[in-house]
Amino acid sequence: MELLRSTIFHTPNNPFRSPDTFVALEDGGLLITEGRVTGCADYSTLRTTHPDAVVRDLRGGFIVPGLVDAHVHFPQVRIIGGLGYSLLDWLEQLTLPEEARLADVTYASAIAGEFVNALAAHGTTTALVFGSHFAPATTALFEAAEKRGLRVFSGLVLSDRLMRPELHQSPDSAWRESKALAERFHGNGRLGYAVTPRFALSCSEAMLEVCGALLRDDATLRFTSHINENPREIEEVERLFAGASDYLEVYERFGLTGPNSVLAHSVHTTNEQLVRLATSRTSIAHCPCSNASLGSGVMPMKRHLDHGVPLALGTDVGGGTGFGMMKEALQAYLQQRVAAEPFTLTPAQMLYLATRAGAEALGLGNQTGDFTSGKAADFVYLKPVAGSVLDGVLKHTEAPERKLAALFTLAGAECVREVRVAGDLVFHAA
């Protein structure tokens, strides 16, 4: 039994529903027994009730739940920073040529290693990951995640039109390869399988039918794809699926929405679609860095919240600008301040979006995302670099919410000192 002593922040309740449920323990204790949280309270209380626990004094830093990235592409690690494009040009000129290189499994394995290292080094303990268009490369990702000890849901990316031909599969091979990967990795330790058509644009009706059949065959699989990211993309989808009233209906028609589904972006979504997303409990992964970088637009967060659509956050690497979920939450805050319908995120809401909201979107809300007793001990230990601007700000800040706001504003990967999943060390700063 281990008792960690530090300032602790977490959001065991949804701060969008009840604003005063943010938990901040200035001199907090996190009690861990066999990889699970068995207490989270004031240090002195836990010390008294558990005198035998081994104490680690981590004062001067902050423990927060492991960060959850609800939308990120593993093959795109090496193309981060492709500025100056919009979605379809970026795919054609920069992204798809790189994704094609993952046909080489040696190359793919190297990328998978870099990818899981980057997740862990940024404090991300759980991620919903777009795999590769190639089964061996997707296998390499699952193996790298398993070796690293991260919670990763991923899947073979499916397309049978309008990509480069080498990225296409037939619906038959998509079924066979998806089935084989799901059988091997879904529910295997911390891994899970997500049926992953690239987007409706690159999938025929037969391919989307395969996706629906995979979900019907195993109702515990997750589903992920993209929606309403860019006006040109939406126009093309509506042209290709002439019978559908809108982009969302394409997914609905094949049974691809629901509580196990996470759709990324939702920048150009109508109120009528928001009603349908909320009714089906389909989650949206909000990716503000990518939305701005690719000029996709400012996501209407207030309308999503008003309609009760479940929201999480994703970095969308490599359309996004890096692996930092704290930076992603800051970018959400900044963009919503100046959105057409502005909304001011509180630091507690930012923490919730970067942790528990993602866990809930992935169906892992009872396992991770906060420090409720019984959950896995998934956490990040952040410590400001001595003498840094953040260090100076924190020393002159009293209120916990102000400290958390300063962390979101100034804490980068250099502050991530230790990351653990179910108590197991997955990253330790040198």
Q: Least distance (Å) from Zn ion to the CB of residue 8?
A: 32
Closer Cβ to Zn ion, 226 or 276, answer by number: 226
Closer Cβ to Zn ion, 227 or 421, answer by number: 227
Residues whose CB is less than 8 angstroms from the CB of residue 249 and which lie 6 or more positions away in sequence, other chains included: 241
Cβ-count burial of 260 within 10 angstroms (0-12 exposed, 13-18 middle, 19+ buried)? buried
> What are the backbone angles phi and psi of residue 188, rounded to the nearest 5°?
-90, 100
Q: How far apart are CA 352 and CA 14, in angstroms?
A: 7
Q: Least distance (Å) from Zn ion to the CB of residue 153?
A: 14
Q: Least distance (Å) from Zn ion to the CB of residue 71?
A: 6
Q: Which residue has its beta carbon closest to Zn ion?
A: 316
Q: Least distance (Å) from Zn ion to the CB of residue 257?
A: 17
Closer Cβ to Zn ion, 69 or 316, answer by number: 316
Q: Least distance (Å) from Zn ion to the CB of residue 228?
A: 12
Q: How far apart are CA 230 and CA 228, in angstroms?
A: 6
Q: How far apart are CA 303 and CA 308, in angstroms?
A: 9
Q: How far apart are CA 179 and CA 218, in angstroms?
A: 10
Closer Cβ to Zn ion, 4 or 301, answer by number: 301
Interacting residue ranges for Zn ion, rule: CB under 5 A: 264, 316
If you count DSSP H runs as helices and E runs as strands, how many of each does the chain have, helices first? 17, 16
Q: Which residues pair with 223 in a beta bridge?
A: 195, 261
Closer Cβ to Zn ion, 46 or 163, answer by number: 163
Closer Cβ to Zn ion, 109 or 266, answer by number: 266
Q: Which residues pair with 117 in a beta bridge?
A: none
Q: Least distance (Å) from Zn ion to the CB of residue 207?
A: 18
Closer Cβ to Zn ion, 78 or 179, answer by number: 78
DSSP 414: G
236, amino acid identity: E
Q: Least distance (Å) from Zn ion to the CB of residue 290?
A: 7
The answer to whether residues 122 and 289 touch, using CB atoms and an 8 Å cutoff, is no
17-27: buried (b, 16+ CB within 10 Å) or exposed (e) per residue? eeeeebbbbee
